[in-house]
Structure 1
Amino acid sequence: MYETHSTFEKITLFIKILIPILITQVGIYLMNVFDTVMAGQVSAEDLAGVAIGSSLWIPVLTGINGILLAISPIVAQLSGANERAKIPFAVKQGLYLAIAISLVMLILGYLFLDSILNLLSIEPEVQHVAKYYLTALGLGMVFLFSFNLMRSFIDALGQTKTSMLIILFALPLNAFFNYMFIFGNFGAPQLGGIGAGVASAITYMISSILSVMIVHKVQPFRAYQVFSNFVRPSISAWIEQLKIGIPIGFTIFFETSIFAAVTLFISAYDTITIAAHQAAMNFASIFYMLPLAIAMALTISVGFEVGGKRLIDARMYSFIGISSGLVLATVSGVLIFILREEVAQLYSNNPEVIVLMQQFLIFAVFFQLSDGFGTPIQGALRGYKDVNITLVIAFISFWIIGLPSGIAIANLTTLGPFGYWMGLIIGLATGAVILIIRLIYVIKSTKI
């Protein structure tokens, strides 16, 4: 990141930061798409098992990644304030925190995974795939969260191309390992949907090792000597990061977990409905990477300017990012509608799944606009380190308004499973409206 002095310079720098983040996010999500699509070529049971596993995994993944995202505004503001000497300590403590959280999640998964799956009304074959898909993913958890911490540090310095290159290297590896372990090629066991979890865990490990090597050896990261000098874990530093990270993590968790909750409600329907719902959600979520990438770019750019007490510049970046989100969300909705038949055929060869998935995708068009507007606003607020109110907004809009609306529509009208998607649209729209009101308040009340 560097200072800019005109709107054109800001737009240019924002695009330079945004495009690599977008490619990185799409690459990360495509790993999940590969899991779902390739498992779907084995059987509907494998597709449904990976779908259920993903619906439980994604909220955990995004929630914990949200906690670790605290390092981005911390590093961005320190960089903007020219206090770079404090950055290595913060990154080291963030890495310790990532490892500690990973170990806690492994223990919780070991204790409660069976009980959670037993609560679901799913067929034994689907439950088997879901359980061991998640078990395999858990083995790569420490590497995944360590990589995400390193990536947040790299991106906060404005070096987003580096993260992009790591993911572009890892993505074909993930597809190759899927091909090995799902279908039993190159001497590997044929594991079906479970093999997708094995492939992802191996990919996480490789990505983590590569990111550590780059931070340790390559400039400008080497100058920070993150791995050169040992420092002890600091509880006070962890608390400082958690004060920012926990609200971010729970905000993201509330948003992603409502999608998981909808999937769990839909698990009461037949396997065809589960498979069609999750495949549609899987594809629609690719387009969510657009506003998510904008939000991450806004956290970096707004945080840099706020750290340097350049509040007018921070406000301009917010406007640029939110406007971009709305335009891209409109384009996304059009593409989803136009490509819905071809996409459904890509995900499954079952005619019933194909027809039902197309109907789900029509509903997906409508929550693209709310996501495209609300998600970038969250990123701008994180740049200001305004995270606590956002947590409350997310909880109310998704869990107090969105989910109950979906349950009511699904059970009191003829929409059935589509009613849950209507609830998602209502919750996202409510959150977006409240978030813009909060951002306007923060911009007006922040003083130098």
Structure 2
Amino acid sequence: MTATLPITSGHSADSWREELAATLRLAGPLAVAGLLQMAIGAMDVMFIARLGPIELAGASLAVAFQGTMIWSLCGLTGSVAALIAEAIGRRGPAIREVRRATRMAMWQAVLFGMLAMLACFGGRWFMDITGQEPEVAAHSAVYLNIIAWAFIPQLIANVLRSFVSALGRPFFATMIALAVLPVNFVGNYILVFGAFGIPEMGLAGAAWASVVTGVVTMLAFVVAIFRDRRLKRYYVFGNIWRPEWEAFRAILKIGTPVAVTIVAEAGLFNAAAFLMGNIGALELAAHTLALNIAALAFQIPFGIGQAAVIRVGYHFGAKDRDAMGRAGWVAILCGLVFVMITGGAMLFMPRLLLSVWIDPEAPENLAMVSLAVSYLAIAAAFQLSDAVQAVAMGALRGLQDTRVPMAYALLGYWGCGFTLAAYLAFYTPLAGRGIWIGLALGLTLVAIALLQRWVRREKLGLVRH
């Protein structure tokens, strides 16, 4: 192992400090990359919000539909990180195993990306059957028909991000996300409002800007891999047409439950957008703003969870049970510390956060801001639950334990969370606030179940190789 991929052992305070340092070295760049990635999405919302509430509502439904698929498929293909970490923990560089797994993950990115594109092309039908307003549904269909072309480059970029991170180069994810941020801004500015001889395209321009950003991100990872001596030696683009079915099946075995879990969670939040759409366009717009802030805050525990996959995975490959537990607990505690800060910001300065997207003092925005502030107060309350479930899920994935957590997610998010959200929204005076209360309950139940499973990992036999 190299200095960038340390595996600590023992029970001393030094071992805990070393694990904390190793986790932060991974989690820091990944969390920042996630924040920058969300900033790109937030930038899209800023441009679209200036087109009007109907356009914003239409785009939010489209992003909810497309986002559920892209996040779930990123979870599936990104599960290659657990296999890479295990292989390195077990036998050092493991060049052949890493190359085969990464190649098959890229195969899956193309295959499932094509299927997701077809789903987007039929998105208008989904908007209609869920009872969305015709004008809002029409805008959603325009956005979906274009954003579909971003699937394959985004998924390939996600595979390469997992590859470089598992090999101790997470800073590439940060640098690339930072580099494409101005690309997205310029693309939105030119295509949405028209500039430099290019006509104004409105909502369609925002979608095309996202496609361009996805392609540039993918190409940037390719260039980074070729220019880094350590990454280049894995030759992940060599023999790209050669199948490695064992690796293909291994990714599917671990990644399919991860994808279903993400559909359960992301689908819960995105389904909330459709519930909001049935209440009214104003509530939907406020929900979109509040959810963007909550999603930005979530990138910190999400990045820590990604680091937990890799750190626990290294120790899993090395068969070091004590180090597995240490890596998981360090990550969980880090997540809790950071979300206390973000939760406090949502609770005590919501209008300042909203001002990033809109003018909260403008008369035409007062009703929307009032709703968004009330939603953020509830979001602040479930930040701890969100952090625990995200990081504990990552630690369990490092043990390649994904099926039971998937069941927890389905039952918690949908059996309880969505059911309560729908009931409170339409059968009580809480309306939109009831939806957010349902979201909070679903997250909390799943967090408790996952934490209990992590605590009992030895008794459940999860640490056996």
Structure 1 length normalisation: TM-score?
Answer: 0.96
In structure 1, what is the equivalent of residue 390 of structure 2? 375
Question: Match for 1:388 among 403, 415, 421?
Answer: 403
Indicate if the aligned counterparts of 2:128 and 2:134 stay in contact, CA closer than 8 A: no
CA distance in 2, matches of 1:197, 1:280: 21
Question: Would the aligned equivalents of 2:124 and 2:140 in 1 still touch at CA under 8 Å?
Answer: no
Distance 1:342 1:230, change over 3 A: closer
- Equivalences for residues 28-427 of structure 1 within 5 A: 28-82=37-91, 83-110=94-121, 112-349=122-359, 350-427=365-442
1:2 aligns with 2:17: no
Distance 1:179 1:389, change over 3 A: same
Residue 54 of structure 1 aligns to which amino acid in structure 2? V
Q: Deviations over 1:96-126 (max 9, x none)?
A: 111111112222333x312102124333332
How far apart are the structure 2 equivalents of 1:310 and 1:233?
Answer: 32
State the secondary structure of the residue aligned to 1:175.
helix
Tell me the percent identity. 25
Residue 17 in structure 1 maps to residue 32 in structure 2: no
Shift of 1:185: 2.2
Task: Please give the alpha-carbon distance, in whole angstroms, between the structure 2 residues aligned to 1:324 and 1:108.
Answer: 38
Distance 2:143 2:458 in 1: 44
Distance 1:259-1:434 versus aligned 2 partners, 3 A rule:
same
Is the 2:75–2:262 contact (alpha carbons within 8 Å) kept by the matching residues of 1?
Answer: yes
The answer as to whether partners of 1:35 and 1:50 remain within 8 angstroms in 2 is no
Residue-pair matches, total: 447
Q: 1:322 touches 1:373 (CA, 8 Å); kept in 2?
A: yes
Q: Distance in 1 between matches of 2:410 and 2:225?
A: 36
Q: CA–CA distance in 1 between the matches of 2:139 and 2:37? A: 22
Contact 2:66 2:120 in 1 (8 A): no
Change (3 A) 1:54 1:23: same
SS for the counterpart of 1:261 is: helix
Unaligned runs of 5+ in 2: 10-14, 360-364
Question: Equivalents in 2 of 1:53, 1:352: separation in Å?
Answer: 24
Deviation at 1:419, TM superposition (A): 0.6
Looking at structure 2, the residues matched to 387 and 134 of structure 1 have their Cα atoms a distance apart, in angstroms, of 30
Structure 1 Cα separation of the partners of residues 355 and 333 of structure 2 = 33
Please state how far the C-alpha of 1:230 moved relative to its aligned partner: 4.2
* 1:135-180 Cα deviation digits (max 9, x unpaired): 2211121111111111111111121011111111111211111111
Q: Single out whichever of 313-322 and 123-132 deviates more from structure 2.
A: 123-132
Measured at CA, do residues 181 and 443 of structure 1 come closer, stay the same or move farther in structure 2, by a change above 3 Å?
A: farther
Aligned partners of 1:47 and 1:422: how far apart in 2?
23
Q: Which moved more, 1:97-106 or 1:426-435?
A: 97-106
* Per-residue deviation, 1:342: 2.3
358-367 vs 187-196, greater mean Cα deviation? 187-196
Amino acid at match of 1:3: I
- Distance across 2 between alignment mates of 1:89 and 1:346: 43
> Matched residues in 2 for 1:348 and 1:428: separation?
28
Structure 1 residues 372-410: Cα deviation after superposition (integer angstroms, max 9, x where no partner): 111100000000000000100000001111111112222
**RMSD across aligned positions (CA):** 1.5
Instruction: Return the alpha-carbon distance in structure 1 between the equivalents of residues 222 and 401 of structure 2.
Output: 30
1:244: Cα distance to partner?
0.6
Distance 1:412 1:126 in 2: 25
Three-state SS of the structure 1 residue aligned to 2:261 is: helix
Counterpart Cα distance in 2 of 1:292 and 1:253: 15
What SS does structure 2 have at the residue aligned with 1:81? helix
Q: Unaligned 5+ residue runs, structure 1?
A: none
